[in-house]
Amino acid sequence: MTKLISIIVFTVAVLASNILIAQTKLEYPNYWEGKLETNGQKLTFWLKVYNENDSIKASLDIPEQGIAAKQIDEISFINNEIKFKIKAFASNYKGSISDDYKNITGAWEQAFKKYDLNFKRLNKEPLLLRPQEPKPPFAYKTEEVTFENNKSKIKLRGTLTLPENSYNAPAVILVSGSGPQNRNSEIFGHKPFWVIADYLTKQGIAVLRYDDRGTADSEGNFSTATTYDFADDAEAAFEFLKNHKGINSRKIGIIGHSEGGIITPMLAAKRKDIAFIVMLAGPGSSGEDILYQQTRLINLAEGKKKKEINKDIRFLSKIYKIAKSDKSYKEAVISIRKLYKRKTFLMSKKKIEQKNLSKQFSEIVIQQVLSPWFREFIKIQPADYLSKVKCPVLALAGNKDLQVPPDPNMSNIKAFLSEAGNNNVTTIVLDNLNHLFQHCETGSVSEYPFIEETFSSESLEIIAKWINKTTK
C-alpha cells in the first residue's frame, strides 16, 4: 500500500548474510539509534548488536523504508571504532565511539556518496507498537484458500474469514494498492488488511484477502504485471467466492485501497453481479495526474520550495510523455537519457548530485518509469470506468492524504459516478487521516511507521455499517 509514492525517493536496502565480529567492551545486546538526512527526508536507523550461541551478530532497522531486523553482512566493533558493510548494495559505515560508549560519530557510504550518520545509545530495544494487530482466539472461522486465475494460469493463495454462525454471509474481497503486497497488505510493520478483515468478520461479513501475484505464497510474476493483470486476479477471487457454500453469491463486493481503488470500478463496470464497491483513497484522476499531485504535496511537506517543485514536475512530464508513448523499451531509454543529458549539460557535478540528476539515479528512474506497470498506470483514466458503475459505492478518503489527495479526487469520483446515473453513492472525507487511514499530524509518508494506529476505528465502523445496510 504504499502506495503510489513519487519515484523521487531515497532507497536504502539491507540483505541478510554472515557476520564478522571482534571484541568490544560493550555488553550485549546493545541498541543504537541514528538519523540520516538526504533530499530533505530523514531516515531512522536502529542498530542492534547481540550475542547468539556465543556468536556476536548485528541487525539494522530502517522503519521509513520498511526494513526490519535485517542481518548485517560484516561488522567489526573494536574499542572505539565500529565498521559494518552491506556488500550487495555497496554500502558501508564507519564511526568512532565516545569514551562513555553512549554515542557514535560517523558516516554512511552508499553509491559513492557519503552521509553523516551519528548514533546514540538506547537504554532498551526500540519497538514499533501495533496494538490493533488481531490476536487469538478469534471469534470467527478461518480458511486458507487457493484459487486460480485461468487467464494467466496462476494460482493465488490467501485467507478467508467467515462469521462463526453464518452460512449465507455477505462478503468482500480486499484489493491492495501498488507494489507487491502480501495478504495483510503489510507495510512498516502494519497489517491493515488483517485489521480490516478481523473487524468486518466480527460484524458478520466474510472477508477474502490474498497475496498479490508473485508475492508470498501466490504464483506469477509481479514485475511484468500491470493494473489490468491485478484486476484479473481480483476477478478470479470474485469467481471463487461466488461458488463458496458459506457466502451469499448475490452479496459480494470489493474493497480496494489506493491502486486497488481504481481496480474496484474497473470490475464493477464490467461485472453487473458485483453487489457493491468500497474505494479507500481511490483515484479519481489519471495515473499521471496522481503522480503530479503526490509529487507536489509530498515535497511541500518535506519543505521543498514551490518553484523547485514546479521545475521537477515539468521535467517529469517530459519523462512521462516518453513512458506513455509507443516507443520500444530501447528507444524510450535512449530518449530519456537524452533528456537527462540536456538537463545537466551546464551543471556542476555537485549540483547534479544535489538535484538527483546523476547517471546512477537517472538509470533507476528509467527502470521504474519504463516498467510494464508504470507505462500502463500513467495512462489509466478512472472516468472510463466510474462513468459505467451502477452498483452502490462508498468512497472514503483522509483529508491529510498526500498520495491520493481528496481534492480533486473525491469530487472527480462523484462527478464520474453521476454520469452513470448512479445515485447510490456515499463519499466521506475524514479529518486528520493519512493515506493509510491513520490519525496523523501532517500526512507525510515519514510518519507512517511511527504511528501506532494501523487503521482508524471510525473508518472501520463506517465501512461495516454501510456494507451491512447495503446488503440487507
| Grid coordinates belonging to 77 | 566493533
pLDDT attached to residue 110: 86
What is the number of domains present in the chain?
Answer: 3
Of residues 41 and 377, the one with the higher pLDDT is: 377
pLDDT attached to residue 86: 77
Look up residue 428 and give its DSSP letter. E
Which range in 80-89, 137-146, 358-367 is most confidently predicted, on average pLDDT? 137-146
* 263 band by pLDDT with thresholds 50, 70 and 90: very high
Q: Please list, in sequence order, all residues whose beta carbon lies within 8 angstroms of the beta carbon of residue 386, skipping any fewer than 6 positions away.
A: 265, 269, 284, 413, 416, 417, 419, 420
Look up residue 387 and give its DSSP letter. T
In this prediction, residues 49-55 reach a mean pLDDT of 81
Taking 80 as the threshold, does the pLDDT of residue 87 lie above it? no
* 20 band by pLDDT with thresholds 50, 70 and 90: very low
Residue type, 265: P
Domain encompassing residue 221: 140-286+380-470
368 and 429 part of one domain: no
**Phi (first) and psi of residue 300, to 5 degrees:** -60, -40
205 and 280 part of one domain: yes
CATH of the domain at 449: 3.40.50.1820
**Phi (first) and psi of residue 141, to 5 degrees:** -90, 145
Q: What percent of the chain has pLDDT over 70?
A: 94
In a domain, 368, yes or no: yes
Q: Which residue has the cell 539515479?
A: 361
Choose one of 357, 377, 397: the last residue of a domain: 377
In a domain, 463, yes or no: yes
Cis peptide leading into 170, omega within 30 of 0? no
Taking 90 as the threshold, does the pLDDT of residue 350 lie above it? no
In a domain, 130, yes or no: no
In this prediction, residues 265-287 reach a mean pLDDT of 97
Choose one of 122, 153, 182: the last residue of a domain: 122
Q: Please list, in sequence order, all residues whose beta carbon lies within 8 angstroms of the beta carbon of residue 332, skipping any fewer than 6 positions away.
A: 322, 323, 325, 370
| Grid coordinates belonging to 316 | 517529469
Taking 70 as the threshold, does the pLDDT of residue 106 lie above it? yes
* 91 band by pLDDT with thresholds 50, 70 and 90: confident
Rounded Cα gap, residues 441 and 400, in angstroms: 8
Q: What is the pLDDT of residues 383-419, one digit of tens each?
A: 999 999 999 999 999 999 999 999 999 999 999 999 9
Q: What is the pLDDT of residues 213-230, one digit of tens each?
A: 999 999 999 999 999 999
Q: Which residue has the cell 456515499?
A: 426
| Contact by Cβ (8 Å): 405, 297 | yes
| Contact by Cβ (8 Å): 227, 148 | no
Of residues 114 and 287, the one with the higher pLDDT is: 287
In this prediction, residues 111-128 reach a mean pLDDT of 90
258 and 397 part of one domain: yes
| Contact by Cβ (8 Å): 196, 460 | yes
161 and 219 part of one domain: yes
In a domain, 3, yes or no: no
254 and 389 part of one domain: yes
pLDDT attached to residue 66: 82
183 and 214 part of one domain: yes
In a domain, 16, yes or no: no
In this prediction, residues 2-21 reach a mean pLDDT of 35
| Contact by Cβ (8 Å): 386, 418 | no
Residue type, 24: T
Using only C-alpha atoms, the chain has a radius of gyration, in whole angstroms, of 24
In a domain, 109, yes or no: yes
423 and 340 part of one domain: no
Taking 50 as the threshold, does the pLDDT of residue 6 lie above it? no
In this prediction, residues 429-433 reach a mean pLDDT of 98
Look up residue 433 and give its DSSP letter. B
187 and 228 part of one domain: yes
In this prediction, residues 109-115 reach a mean pLDDT of 83
Taking 60 as the threshold, does the pLDDT of residue 380 lie above it? yes
pLDDT attached to residue 89: 67
Taking 90 as the threshold, does the pLDDT of residue 77 lie above it? no
Beta bridge partners of 143: 160
218 and 80 part of one domain: no
pLDDT attached to residue 73: 85
| Grid coordinates belonging to 151 | 487467464
Taking 80 as the threshold, does the pLDDT of residue 364 lie above it? yes
In this prediction, residues 225-240 reach a mean pLDDT of 98
Q: Please list, in sequence order, all residues whose beta carbon lies within 8 angstroms of the beta carbon of residue 424, skipping any fewer than 6 positions away.
A: 391, 392, 393
In a domain, 134, yes or no: no
Q: Please list, in sequence order, all residues whose beta carbon lies within 8 angstroms of the beta carbon of residue 163, skipping any fewer than 6 positions away.
A: 140, 141, 169, 201, 202, 204, 205, 206
CATH of the domain at 66: 2.40.128.120
pLDDT attached to residue 275: 98
* 40 band by pLDDT with thresholds 50, 70 and 90: low
Going from the C-alpha of 68 to that of each of 46, 48, 192, 419, the distances in angstroms are 9, 11, 18, 46
Average pLDDT, the chain: 91
- Using alpha carbons, select from 317, 259, 264, 327 the residue that is nearest to residue 287: 259
Q: Pseudo-torsion of CA 304, 307, 310, 312, nearest 10°?
A: -60
103 and 241 part of one domain: no
Of residues 88 and 59, the one with the higher pLDDT is: 59
* Angle formed at CA 374 by CA 415 and CA 224, multiple of 5 degrees: 125
268 and 294 part of one domain: no
| Grid coordinates belonging to 374 | 508504470
* 88 band by pLDDT with thresholds 50, 70 and 90: low
If you write DSSP's letter for every residue of 164-214 in order, what string do you get? TT-SSEEEEEEE--SS---TT--BTTB-HHHHHHHHHHHTT-EEEEEPPTT
In this prediction, residues 58-73 reach a mean pLDDT of 86
Taking 50 as the threshold, does the pLDDT of residue 161 lie above it? yes
Taking 60 as the threshold, does the pLDDT of residue 7 lie above it? no
In a domain, 196, yes or no: yes
Taking 50 as the threshold, does the pLDDT of residue 9 lie above it? no
458 and 387 part of one domain: yes
Report the 10 Å Cβ neighbour count for 37. Answer: 12
Rounded Cα gap, residues 57 and 29, in angstroms: 9
Look up residue 151 and give its DSSP letter. T
Taking 90 as the threshold, does the pLDDT of residue 252 lie above it? yes
pLDDT attached to residue 8: 32
